[in-house]
Amino acid sequence: MSPPRALRVAVCDDEAPARSRLRELLADCAASMPVDVVGEAASGVQLLALLQECEADVVLLDVRMPGMDGLETARHLGKLARPPRVIFATAFDAHAVNAFELQAVDYLLKPIRGERLLEALLRLRSLEPAPREVLREISPAPRTHLSVPERGRVLLVPVADILYLRAELKYVIVRTASAEHLVEDSLVRLEQEFEASFIRIHRSYLVAKRHLAGFERNGEDGDSGWVAVVKGLPERLPVSRRQAPLARAFGRMRP
């Protein structure tokens, strides 16, 4: 009988000593079960890039990282063709721990003990990847990136780079200064998530506030007589009658 395949593990933590400690603990676990560390990453962006070059069965993922935190990272990992299981690592946080336990999401408390890590790895095959809806409930904070499946890979688009979002049937077109991307999502749900940074100008359009230059009078485009001007974008976007008061009140509107 051939020996069991080693469990492929990726490690993600923004602190190098923490990654080194996890490698040591995983080496200790190898005495009880075969483990292969396929790589490590210092951020969620690095982790996603790593896992598109090599597969992992499980990711040991720090929750608190600057920029994209571990919970958001796990949501993007779910878009991969073969999403890994995720075991979160967190310093004691009663709210986070309660949320993990309520949703049956596996986690390790820092400082991580070797026997607890081994226990988590041994029961891993009986766990299913946490659905993105569950991760959204645990951490409802707006994402820093949108993940776009393209040609068998997952592209991360920084929310700060998005000029506008446009509904297109059951999809949403994500427009940046250099490209358009298609995501399967609801414009209404995206509006709820990003209400602090995007504004609705039309039933089909959300515009990033930071990229909105103002409004212009235009009797031909839109049904309100107004169009939106977006920085760095040659075309004008329609403004609905319902949103016309927004255009009139905007401090930088043009006559």
Tell which of 138, 162, 179 closes a domain. Answer: 138
What sign has the CA pseudo-torsion 226, 230, 232, 237? negative
Write the single-letter amino acid at 57. D
pLDDT (tens, 9 = 90+) of the chain, 255 residues, equals 556 789 999 999 999 999 999 999 999 998 899 999 999 999 999 999 999 999 999 999 999 999 999 989 998 998 898 889 999 998 867 667 777 776 667 888 999 999 999 999 988 866 666 666 777 777 778 999 999 988 889 999 999 999 999 999 889 999 999 999 999 999 999 999 999 999 999 999 999 999 999 998 876 555 668 899 999 999 999 999 888 888 777 744 444
Taking Cα atoms as reference points, which of 150, 160, 154 lies closest to residue 209? 160
Tell which of 104, 138, 172 closes a domain. Answer: 138
Assess whether 52 and 159 both reside in one domain. Answer: no
pLDDT, position 207: 97
Assess whether 102 and 198 both reside in one domain. Answer: no
Eight-class DSSP state of 140? -
- Predicted structure pTM score: 0.86
Assess whether 59 and 114 both reside in one domain. Answer: yes
Give the chain's domain count: 2
CA dist 77 and 79 (Å) reads 5
Provide the pairing of β-strand 145-150 with 153-158: antiparallel
Task: Give me the CATH number covering residue 78.
Answer: 3.40.50.2300
Tell which of 112, 138, 164 closes a domain. Answer: 138
Starting from the edge strand earliest in sequence, which strands make up the sheet with 7-12, in order?
A: 35-41, 7-12, 58-62, 85-90, 107-109
CA dist 249 and 189 (Å) reads 26
Provide the pairing of β-strand 162-168 with 171-176: antiparallel
**Domain with 149 in it:** 145-253
